[in-house]
């Protein structure tokens, strides 16, 4: 059974493998991270851990029984009991309810562990799968998202009160 775990230093190699294996798949829905992301992965990863330690963000990974990463689920820009949710799941588990179930789980953790009251998430208008996940997890559309918030594409902000 996959387990949602708080991001830790020892997840680094599995996270990198997840990002590399799914790079083309992710780039079809959101902007590609670029070669620099992978070239500087260790430094960027350590910066994420430092942000998490400062309680400005909370990063989670969905870990399979074999230790591989099935998804990343992030709470960023935590401020005034509100955060932005971001997530991505591996291509081989997409469409199976994994993202929806994990987003629901993270909503509970956001309230109980992080004291959050509101989550927001932006998705591109053309990303029907993400819209479906958010809607099934209790988010409602609240207005347009600036293309800068959604990889240069027109989008919509969703919100869920916890």
pLDDT of 35-59, one tens digit each? Answer: 888 999 999 999 999 999 999 999 9
Q: Which residues of 20-42 are buried (b: 16+ CB within 10 A; e: fewer)?
A: eebeeebeebbeeeeeeeeeebe
Instruction: Note the pLDDT tens digit of each residue in 61-110.
Output: 999 999 999 999 999 999 999 999 999 999 999 999 999 999 999 999 99
Question: Taking the model in full, what pTM does it have?
Answer: 0.94
């Amino acid at each position: 059974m996959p387990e949602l775990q708080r991001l830790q230093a020892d997840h680094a190699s599995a996270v990198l493998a997840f990002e590399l294996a799914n790079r083309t798949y992710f780039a079809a829905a959101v902007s590609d991270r670029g070669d620099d992301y992978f070239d500087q992965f260790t430094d960027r990863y350590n910066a994420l851990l430092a942000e998490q330690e400062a309680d400005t963000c909370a990063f989670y990974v969905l870990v399979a029984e074999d230790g591989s990463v099935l998804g990343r689920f992030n709470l960023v820009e935590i401020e005034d009991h509100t955060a932005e949710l971001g997530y991505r799941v591996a291509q081989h588990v997409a469409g199976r309810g994994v993202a929806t179930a994990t987003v629901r789980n993270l909503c509970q953790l956001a309230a109980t562990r992080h004291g959050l009251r509101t989550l927001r998430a932006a998705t591109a208008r053309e990303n029907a799968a993400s819209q479906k996940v958010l809607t099934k997890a209790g988010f409602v559309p609240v207005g347009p998202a600036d293309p800068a918030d959604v990889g240069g594409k027109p989008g919509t902000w969703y919100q869920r009160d916890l």
